[in-house]
Amino acid sequence: MQIVEKSVEGLSRVYGVTVPAALLAEKVEARIAEITPTLNLKGFRPGKVPTGHVRRLFGKSLMSEIVEQTINETTQKVLSDNNLRPAGEPDLRPEGDIQDVVEGRSDLAYEIALEVIPEFVPADFSEISLKRPIYEPTEDEVGEALAELAESSKTYEPRKGKTVKSKDGDQLLIDFLGRVDGEAFEGGGAEDATLTLGSGQFIPGFEEQLVGAKPGDEVLVKVTFPAEYQAAQLAGKDAEFTVQVKEVRAPKASKVDDALAERLGIENLEKLKELLRSNLQSQFAGATRFKLKRALLDILDEKHDFLLPPRMVEAEFSQIWEQVQQDKTAGGLPPEDADKSDAQLEVEYRKIAERRVRLGLVLAEVGRINNVQVTEQELAEAMRAEAMRYGPQAQQIFDFLRQNPSAQSQIRAPIFEEKVVDLIVSRAKVEDEKVSKEDLLREDDMPAAYKA
């Protein structure tokens, strides 16, 4: 076997590998000798099949297996012998007709083209200074959260007295039946349904036509289904709903007291306030971590400058650019990007792709040097949390994740990143800084260097 370094350019490497046909033939013969005693073929006693017959029947298929195995082994040998850390899957380029190799007429010759992880020394993290923005929720904010909770927990009571006409915000008890072109349609009817006027529960225009209705009224509601309605057979169609109003219920605000807490399963009002305060602190702590991490990544980006693997950058940019084009088509570009040309956007987002690749390599190298690991328990907990997002399908999703290494890698990556960030922060100089809520929640702009 011969291995030749053909080119070295930046982070790109090309190696040529040649494996003599005679060596492949020896491996095939060894494989034939291995399997012959186990064969049970018609017309022959078990283990007594002539070698020549085995060669005629299985020679080509065995040679194909040997070729594939040899390519894998020699590729790994090239990487290990040259201490290469590939930045992605190597590109294998056969030379000549692979069929000639399988039939034993020529040597196996191929090229291995790859990009390698750049060599660099991470910055000294003890020299990094960070400010951790801190904001504590006020009693007024706890009170606001409590008021919102009370509002969402309000009850409804039947309207009484002379004025029982429904108002915006009232809850109706109704029966309804919908028709399109005079024909009832599946899912278009219900009995004893509750509808809060102004909630947007039903399609646009439906609830407004029930304002002013009284118990016992029959109202003919005429609407048009939205063009993007999920049921394609109804999208854009005109419809009529016959609605029987059975009861009009007025909202009754929940009092902020122990009874409200008990109704929510909490011991008392004071415990409920503590829970709401804790929830607010958790929300602000998440924003604090996001800000701190963003500041750290900006510093890491500034402190590291090395060659980037072109294919990694291109793959990252392609993903970003695809999303940008989708947002542009849907009219969802950020306001600051809306008036920019594709050329301007491409320049900016390519810089962002380079930033992501650079930071990914820095964090990966820090993790490698410091032996940062994601434990099996951490991975299992993350997979379980991901699966729980799918409700009734949670077990099915969890089983899929357990059996899919690629999906596990996608879940493992952010856990690894957070652990590396924690490591760097623990070694950096971090000073807590009290800030306003507005400053904590304000979205940070990208550094000026990323603008076209």
pLDDT at 155: 82
> Which CATH class, in words, describes the domain spanning 305-450?
mainly alpha
- How many CB atoms lie under 10 A from the CB of residue 15? 23
Q: Any alpha helices (H) in 233-388, and if so which ranges?
A: 258-263, 269-303, 310-329, 342-369, 376-388
Per-residue pLDDT of the chain in tens (452 residues, 90 and over written 9): 899 899 999 999 999 999 999 999 999 889 988 888 888 777 777 777 788 887 888 888 999 999 999 999 999 999 999 999 999 899 999 998 889 988 889 999 999 999 999 999 999 999 999 999 999 999 999 999 998 888 888 888 898 877 789 999 999 999 999 999 999 998 899 999 999 999 888 999 999 999 999 999 999 999 999 988 888 889 999 999 999 999 999 888 788 888 888 888 899 999 999 999 999 999 999 999 999 999 999 999 999 999 999 999 999 999 999 999 998 888 888 888 888 899 999 999 999 999 999 999 999 999 999 999 999 999 999 999 999 999 889 999 999 999 999 999 999 999 999 999 999 999 999 999 999 999 999 988 888 777 75
- CA 211 – CA 174 distance, rounded (Å): 13
Q: What is the DSSP letter of 219?
A: E
Q: What are the respective helix, strand and coil percentages of the chain, to the nearest 5? A: 50, 20, 30
Q: Can you give the residue ranges of every domain in the chain?
A: 2-115, 156-252, 305-450
Residue 170's Cβ-side half-sphere holds a number of Cα atoms within 13 Å equal to: 26
* 3-state SS assignment for residue 257: coil
Of the candidates 56, 60, 38, 59, the residue with the CA atom closest to the CA atom of residue 47: 38
Residue 247's Cβ-side half-sphere holds a number of Cα atoms within 13 Å equal to: 13
* Fold annotation for 2-115: Alpha-Beta Plaits (3.30.70)
- CA 316 – CA 410 distance, rounded (Å): 15
The count of residues in the chain is: 452
pLDDT at 117: 95
Of the candidates 25, 106, 21, the residue with the CA atom closest to the CA atom of residue 62: 25
pLDDT at 152: 80
pLDDT at 106: 92
Q: What is the DSSP letter of 404?
A: -
**Which numeric CATH code is attached to 156-252?**
3.10.50.40
pLDDT at 131: 95
Q: Can 156-252 and 305-450 be said to share one CATH topology?
A: no
